[in-house]
Structure 1
Amino acid sequence: MTPTDEAADSVLLRTEGRAAYLTLNRPKALNALSHTMVRRVDEALTTWEHDPAVETVVITGAGGRGLCAGGDIRSIHADARSGGDASAAFWRDEYRLNARIARYPKPYVALMDGIVMGGGVGISAHGSVRIVTERSKVAMPETGIGFVPDVGGTYLLALAPGELGTHLGLTGVPMGAADALLCGLADHFVPADALPALAADLAAGAVSDVLPRHVREAPEGRLAADREWIDHCYAADTVEEIVDRLLAAGTPAAKEAAETILAKSPTALKVTLAALRRARDLGPLERVLEQEYRVSCAALSAPDLVEGIRAQVIEKDRAPRWSPATLAEVGEADVARFFAPLGARELSLADNAPQEVPW
């Protein structure tokens, strides 16, 4: 199969009436993003941006299990093991696409049904109209594979109310519809069985006219009721203190969060906390993506990324051997190296921040 054939098969494109439809089409891999797919999406957005017949772009995932489970981490694992540069090249284009989606001049409607994780969040949650359903599972689970939230994930999580983003970034736990709405990663709830009608209606009508016919109230979530202990515990300055506060909080949910955190990569946890705190002060999405690019490139040469993917995805023994193995062994210098400038390899994005859009 040629690269052109692969792109055509893995990302399906069509236009109908006033809308253009983009379907991620790797259902056996939960629509995980390859470099070829990222380029295909970017090329389509360029075409549709300049096509006056296209008023709305709709993105969905094939297979019925989810929009996108993230990047192709098997490829990242192979690249990291070999010391290659394919992952850095992939992230460069992926993060540019994330920034482009955030400032796309036409309504970008993301149907975030089912699993939406990692790169799936990047290709959807920066859009102007983000739809979740009762089946949505939205997450940035990178600390579980020795990695750090990227694709603008630290930007989105840093904007979540209180310390909800810190909780989600460290634990990697998935959000349902109501929690995604609360945290600002989604805009509207539409029942899953109504998505085909919503998508079809966008071919004939404007987003502002179509949405009210399909939007409903989301089922109750979990995070709103947990805000008190989450905001207190995760306001601590270090991961160690966060864990101590969670264990002392006296609630089963807080204890469960502490246990979840302690199973993740100690290095990834400390870098994630630093990245989230820095993201709050960096300004627009582009600046945060530039920081994430430094962090991601540094992770390629750190042992935990290869080990985490091995344990969770390749061999699936679910028993990663992190190095260092404990939070106490991860020093300030170990964290600082993830944020070191890359010199000529820096990702430099446009200065214009994402624009507010009225959809």
Structure 2
Amino acid sequence: MHSIDEVIIGRQGSAGLIRLNRPQALNSLTLPMIRAIEAALADFAADPSVASVIVRGEGDRAFCAGGDIRLLHESGKRGSPDAETFWREEFRLNHAIARYPKPYVALMDGITMGGGVGLSSHGSHRVATERTRLAMPETGIGYFPDVGATWLLPRAPGEAGTWMGLTGLAIHAADAIQARLADHCVASSDLSALIEAIGALPAAASPADVHGVIAGMAISAGESRLTVHRNMIDRALAYDTVEDIQEALAREAGDFAAETRQIIGTRSPTSLKLTLRLLRAGRNSASLAECLDRELGACLRILYNPDFYEGVRAAVIDKDRNPKWSPASLAEVEDAAIDRFFVPAQPPLFAM
């Protein structure tokens, strides 16, 4: 097995276990963690005594809060290849999860953001809990939703994915299920019992068998805010420019529309325009691989974008939560500036 201190690999009966073990850092991903997860998945796939794989986060706060933003920030500042290496290996792992040959069960208990969504929502069996806080918060740090989110979010019903991608706001279990980023809600206190029950299945257990165990322990996720406000979301966020979306939100009545408009107004204007372009491109894409390849090209350009460094400074380093975006307004972001993010990475991630 490929256990390291930050990823603990084990077994529970017929289930392979992968435990993210950086609770003090909300289980955020490092490159060694990505490599350990990838190796464990390969081992479990080849082991006929393993029927399924379960991934969970240690500690009581997070499944996984995302990638190691400090590493990416420092790599970009130094001009080192570390950021590109991280993204390439993380995105390949996301693709491997989506194509995994055995049931892949992600226990999305607590904070599940950015790279944590990539580790969970591409899986075959996604379990939220009453403590799930799922988000793609990247527009708030001068970045954009990656890890295949430009494939996942456009496939949420209506414009729910557009709302998530632009606002970066966290959603709960009911919304995650509504957005097709999770499948069931299981009580956090029942997760250990769920692991035991899945592990008790025979080695020849099918995906349907695993689904049956999870469904048998599922509870109501409650009311989805995205469902309650779906008509408004679908009306106002259907436009293909952020300016038109903001104008449409201004025409809508109610606190939800006003909050949405206000939050979008605090995000990086460059990130907003880039995110919307990527989401619309993802909607018309034929595969996850195509979206990941496009995202990688944008990642390599983000290292030359001042908003990324300013956003990470304000959120992670100085923590003053007061980024100064450049350009500061949507009107100042030229189309040509966004076009530059759509230069394909070389070499590509996948042979198309």
TM-score tier, shorter chain, comes to over 0.9
1:254 aligns with 2:257: yes
- The CA deviation string for residues 108-129 of structure 1, in whole angstroms up to 9 with x for no partner, is 0000011000000001110000
Distance 1:209 1:102 in 2: 20
The equivalent residue for 1:191 is: 187
Contact preservation (8 Å) 1:20, 1:56:
yes
1:113 aligns with 2:114: no
Contact preservation (8 Å) 1:71, 1:119:
yes
Match for 1:67 among 63, 71, 74? 63
Distance 1:212 1:91 in 2: 34
1:126 aligns with 2:127: no
Match for 2:141 among 136, 140, 145? 145
Distance 1:231 1:111 in 2: 29
The equivalent residue for 2:18 is: 22
- The CA deviation string for residues 263-292 of structure 1, in whole angstroms up to 9 with x for no partner, is 010000000000000001111111110011
Q: How far off is 1:209 after superposition? A: 4.1
Distance 1:81 1:259 in 2: 31
The equivalent residue for 1:279 is: 282
Distance 2:233 2:212 in 1: 38
Distance 1:331 1:178 in 2: 37
Query: 1:242-321 maps to which residues of 2 (within 5 A)?
Result: 242-321=245-324
- The CA deviation string for residues 143-175 of structure 1, in whole angstroms up to 9 with x for no partner, is 000001000111110101111111100000111
Q: How far off is 1:213 after superposition? A: 2.6
Contact preservation (8 Å) 1:294, 1:346:
no
Contact preservation (8 Å) 1:10, 1:37:
yes
Query: 1:1-359 maps to which residues of 2 (within 5 A)?
Result: 8-205=4-201, 206=205, 207-342=210-345, 345-349=346-350
Distance 2:350 2:48 in 1: 27
The equivalent residue for 1:355 is: none
- The CA deviation string for residues 270-322 of structure 1, in whole angstroms up to 9 with x for no partner, is 00000000001111111110011111111011111111000011001111111
Q: 1:102 to 1:307 in 2, by over 3 A?
A: same
Percent identity over the alignment is: 48
TM-score by length of 1: 0.94
What is the number of residues matched between the two proteins? 345
Amino acid at match of 2:31: H
- The CA deviation string for residues 176-226 of structure 1, in whole angstroms up to 9 with x for no partner, is 001100110001111111111001111112414422331122111211010
Distance 2:177 2:22 in 1: 27
Amino acid at match of 1:290: D
- The CA deviation string for residues 96-143 of structure 1, in whole angstroms up to 9 with x for no partner, is 000000010000000001100000000111000000011101110000
Amino acid at match of 1:329: E
Q: Secondary structure at the match of 1:328?
A: helix
- The CA deviation string for residues 8-61 of structure 1, in whole angstroms up to 9 with x for no partner, is 100000013211100000000000000110000000011110000111100000
TM-score by length of 2: 0.96
- The CA deviation string for residues 68-87 of structure 1, in whole angstroms up to 9 with x for no partner, is 00000011111111222211
Contact preservation (8 Å) 2:184, 2:215:
no
Unaligned runs of 5+ in 1: 352-359
Unaligned runs of 5+ in 2: none
Distance 1:180 1:95 in 2: 21
Distance 2:183 2:56 in 1: 16
Contact preservation (8 Å) 1:83, 1:301:
no
The equivalent residue for 1:356 is: none
Distance 1:108 1:82 in 2: 37
Amino acid at match of 1:291: R
Distance 1:208 1:114 in 2: 21
Distance 2:191 2:44 in 1: 22
Distance 1:327 1:47 in 2: 48
Q: How far off is 1:350 after superposition? A: 5.4
Contact preservation (8 Å) 2:293, 2:344:
no
Distance 2:290 2:84 in 1: 17
Q: Secondary structure at the match of 2:112?
A: strand
Q: Secondary structure at the match of 2:249?
A: helix
Q: How far off is 1:237 after superposition? A: 2.1
Contact preservation (8 Å) 1:130, 1:187:
yes
